[in-house]
A and B are shown apart, each in its own frame.
Chain A
Amino acid sequence: MANYSAMNPGKYHLGVMFDFPPLQNRRLNEDYLIKNVKWKTSAMVGRKIYIGNVEIEDRYNRTHTLSDTVLKSRAGRFDSFTMDRRLDVAVGDGEDVVRLASFADRLLQFKQNTMYVINCTKTQEILESKNKFKGVDHHNAVCETDYGVVWCNEHGIYMYNGRSVNELFITEGVRNVSESTWNAFYKKGETMLGYVASSKQILFYRGVDDADNTTGNVLIYDLVTGSFVQGTDQGNNEDKTNLINDWNNDLLYGYESSANNTLLQKWAVTPTAGIATMDVKTKFFNFENQSRKKIYKVEITYKGGVINDIDYETTNVHPKYSVDSSNSYTGVFRDASGNAITNIPSSSDWSVIELYTSAIDNNNVKSISIQLTEASLGAVRQNFEVNDIAIIYRQKSVK
């Protein structure tokens, strides 16, 4: 049986000729050879891939774990790493590289406690800033967006926009979300975030492990308005994968719907189901002074709820109020006939509901706050919306 080969050059007994050994040619340098590499995190900047927290096998087949090291590929050669293209921003600091992320031509290196911004515009990377207390404890605590990189740790939520690192809990020099709120929400090693591209929001899930039945709680940061809102059980309290953006830019995760069965879930900006837990509290309006007022009524312009269902033509929103900075929202709104309003009726179009305060506590009020919460009948209808709230009051003369 004939044995064949593919031969090159492709003519019989035609060789590539060398009159002399080409000594002027380049030398092969294997001093920095990495035979094999395992990596914990990666990020692409331009046409180079950076991998961090690596375990390498060197040219002598020795294995080294380099938890502080980032290796950079050559441009367009995404599997080639050598020791001469090694970035050690900080070594021996008791921290490991947890996550790499990129924004424009900057590489962000996250360790447990510290975050480094590395400028990759030049051949040699330049450490641009070291940000203490801004590390992350796990890889899913970082998210890349078209506005910058957002991440969170036990101290708060941060964003790098290409110029500076900003703390998102601080707006106009004032912290908005309390430390206790964040501490209650944040779960070390689990809280993950993703980007909702359509609404330009950052979505935080409390956790990924089904051992905790609050891991479906969410926190949303709106990149446009710079504001936070919360949600209870808006995600699944099951084992979850990481978050990704799919072909529609929808934010997805997978969860274990039952043993060994996985379902994908996407985040719907417009709710598709009733909201089991709603708790909206306005500020305590004192109308710019702390003198006494009489509160006559509150008018809410709203729409939503179930239409054409005689038994359930409700929004399932229960309005309440509290006065004078009390945390007890026991104030009962009543209609013009004096009947308590515990469930705002449904309305297909914008409608104004008049909510009268009780005579017993509407006098001599310094401030008032309105609360909207789910009614006892069930979850708030998903199409419920509020346009504005008006408070009708009369200032009392100062005695």
Chain B
Amino acid sequence: MPKKEYKILGFHGGLHNNSDAKDIRDIDLQSATGVSVHRVGRLVGIGNNTSTAINYNAFTSDIEPGYGLHYFSTDYNNAETATSEDWLAIYDKANTKVKYWYRDKANDDASPAFSLIETTFGANINPNYYYADGFLRIGDALHGQESKWFGYIDNELFWKDEFGTQNIHNIKEWSTGTQELKSLEVLIGDNIKMVDMSTANPSASDLGDGTTRKLILGYWTTEGGEWNGNYVFGVTPIYEGNQEGPISTIYDNLLNKLETTVPLFNKRVMFQVHIPIGTAATVTADAPHRLGDDRIIGLNWYFKEESEEDWIYLMNTDLKKGGKHYWESYNSATETAYGIWDGKTVTDSGSVVSVTEGVDILEDSTTPATHINFKDNNDGAIGSGDNWIESGTGASTTGKSYHQVYLEVNLNNEQTNGFGTTSVPRKGFLRVWGGANSPLYVGNATESGGGSASIDLLTGIGGTPGTDWDEYFVPMTLPGAGTDREFRVEVLDENFSVIADSGIKTMTIADSGKVAPPEYEQEVEI
């Protein structure tokens, strides 16, 4: 028989030593030690371990076999700029800490180093890692030590304007801590307090000098609301990722669990949050978070009636932007009266008719023989026209029903601080009761002398703020006929809280023969 050639062209069957050696495929090998068959048609040397460019031999590290390494990338680099960075978390058993080795991802950095930040544990751990949304979490598989985190905190806290350029506290740094989302009670202890701000903003002792971390829920009330009962308040911290921590009840005394109870009857309630920051108007950049955990970015406030079990959500406080009105630094040494409306008598000679809270709607408050200050026209300094009068004079004046009028409202706030500046005063609203359409909400009205203007809470800007008053002409329609019809004007702040009230003034309205404006009802086709 002729010679034959039998060719073995491939070896990619690899190791096959479980069957009879003559019954395996040609591409299989009885023994495949020291070779690799990953390239079809080739038998090449097996790979091996080799040193990397990373030599951290200088790093003293005792290895916990089977544990310790984790790779992750971040959007910020070790120098805290927004440049991608590669990281290796490396557990150092000898010192029970995780160290962080970094390199420039974009430039394939050849000269990496270890971060100065380390995550230290109280005893040896078997580290497990997970990484999500910029934060590395380190758990101990032995369940012996608390889980921890490492990551870049990019928090511009307490914005003072819409751009966030003048915020009170910046935390922009690599940081590490315990993974637990701790309650504020754990973080700041018995220092979550309620402060009644009805007559004054928080005092210096309320705030403290910043040595002790505190959180204050300021509140005050006005009449006319529907809060009825004894209420208790609580707060939860909101951590990065919109993660809510456990609730902390506000106590008078934490040790005795004596809750702070706020008794309310037919009240509306206003809340303002104060977070003490120390003895300066801003906090040093990268100083520890004033609430004890750099990851906290908000607060959720809750309330319940005393003796109730369920906490009900009240409001959120965003520690960054802070909502529509942002944040502001408050100085307890000089600003306790700031922003609290101080109503002043409108007329120089003094009122004999009660003009409460600096809101005057009377024609002449210096005499009892006066009436509500309606005008036909809003022209001139004091308006003009008496066609709206049906009969009488002085206090006996009666108006015509459904007559178009202007109500002159004089505002005088003696407190000039905390209501903005003459160039940028705080703006409010008037709420006018008693007209054919009631209430009327007025954000702009004609000023004395003509021209539309917003309702400034800082009064007397045209003259001497705090001394001179502002006059507004509010267009309205008198109501239908009736005796002692009630009229009232309230001054509202930016959040529609009542800060001043004219009180109820009365006037008789006679039938003018005009019919009431038609009321249109929606026709529903069946």
Contacts and interface: CB of A to CB of B under 8 A. Distances in A.
Contact of A25 (B2, B49, B246, B312): B312
Given A6-B330, A15-B495, A16-B495, A78 B130 contact: yes
Nearest to B169: A6
A244 B70 contact: yes
Nearest to A232: B33
B297 interface: no
B30 A12 contact: no
A284 B11 CA distance: 14
Interface stretch (B142-150, B343-351, B476-484, B509-517): B142-150
A8 B323 contact: yes
A239 interface: yes
B40 A225 contact: yes
Contacts of B52: 246, 250, 252, 264-266
Nearest to B4: A393
B275 A6 contact: yes
Interface string B268-293: 11111111111111000000001000
Interface string B9-46: 10111111111111111101111111111101111111
A7 B271 CA distance: 11
Interface stretch (B202-210, B253-261, B354-362, B467-475): B202-210
Interface centre among A79, A264, A382 (most CB of B within 10 A): A79
A275 B88 contact: no
Interface string A216-243: 1010101011111111101110011111
Interface residues of B, number: 175
Nearest to A384: B45
A19 B21 contact: no
Given A1-B279, A21-B226, A283-B22, A14 B50 contact: no
Contacts of B63: 239-241, 254-256, 262
Contact of B236 (A28, A77, A281, A388): A28
B10 to A, nearest CB: 8
Nearest to A261: B57
Given A9-B324, A21-B303, A55 B143 contact: yes
A261 B61 contact: yes
Interface centre among B31, B160, B236, B334 (most CB of A within 10 A): B31
Contacts of B73: 247
Interface in A18-43: 18-23, 25-28, 30, 33, 35-43
B520 to A, nearest CB: 28
B381 interface: no
A249 to B, nearest CB: 10
A21 B181 contact: no
Interface centre among A78, A385, A391 (most CB of B within 10 A): A78
Interface stretch (A84-92, A125-133, A146-154, A172-180): A172-180
Contact of A30 (B42, B128, B247): B247
Contact of B6 (A80, A138, A393): A393
Contacts of A22: 312-314
A72 to B, nearest CB: 13
A80 B325 contact: no
B339 interface: yes
A21 B276 CA distance: 27
Contacts of A59: 246
A49 interface: yes
A177 B18 contact: yes
A177 B243 CA distance: 50
Contacts of A265: 49-52
A84 to B, nearest CB: 14
Given A27-B311, A231-B46, A79 B328 contact: no
Given A263-B55, A278-B35, A285-B26, A181 B17 contact: yes
B220 interface: yes
A270 interface: yes
Contacts of B318: 8
B311 A14 contact: no
Nearest to A255: B63
B180 interface: yes
A165 B474 CA distance: 79
Contact of A5 (B17, B43, B70, B275): B275
A161 interface: no
Contacts of A273: 48, 50
Interface in A185-242: 190, 192, 196, 199-201, 208-210, 216, 218, 220, 222, 224-232, 234-236, 239-242
Nearest to A5: B274
Contacts of A225: 12-14, 37-38, 40
Report the contact-size class of chain A (Cβ under 8 Å from the partner): 35 or more
Contact of B272 (A14, A27, A240, A391): A14
Contacts of B11: 386
Contact of B147 (A8, A37, A272, A278): A37
A292 B34 CA distance: 32
Contacts of A282: 8, 29-30
B497 interface: yes
A385 B42 contact: yes
B433 interface: no
A201 B46 CA distance: 12
Contact of A41 (B20, B21, B128, B333): B128
A283 B36 contact: no
Contacts of A243: 69
A8 B32 contact: no
Given A3-B276, A7-B273, A77-B243, A275 B28 contact: no
Interface stretch (B131-139, B382-390, B399-407, B448-456): B131-139
Contacts of B21: 281, 283-284, 325, 369
A227 B46 contact: no
B38 A278 contact: no
B3 A3 contact: no
Contacts of B209: 1, 3
A154 B338 CA distance: 75
A77 B158 CA distance: 23
A306 interface: no
B28 A176 contact: yes
A339 interface: no
B306 interface: no
B42 to A, nearest CB: 6
A45 B102 CA distance: 27
B153 interface: no
A296 B269 contact: no
Contacts of A381: 45
A387 interface: yes
A271 B34 CA distance: 10
B312 A4 contact: no
A268 interface: yes
B317 interface: yes
B5 interface: yes
Contacts of A255: 63
Contacts of B330: 4-7, 12
B80 interface: no
30 contacts: A3-B204, A4-B280, A6-B277, A7-B274, A11-B325, A15-B219, A17-B497, A18-B271, A19-B225, A22-B314, A28-B247, A30-B311, A37-B147, A55-B143, A79-B181, A176-B19, A181-B18, A235-B48, A239-B63, A240-B63, A244-B71, A250-B52, A260-B60, A264-B54, A266-B52, A369-B21, A374-B34, A382-B45, A388-B8, A394-B1
List 9 tightest A-B contacts by C-beta distance, closest first. A12-B339, A15-B270, A227-B14, A12-B418, A278-B34, A13-B339, A20-B226, A10-B328, A9-B325
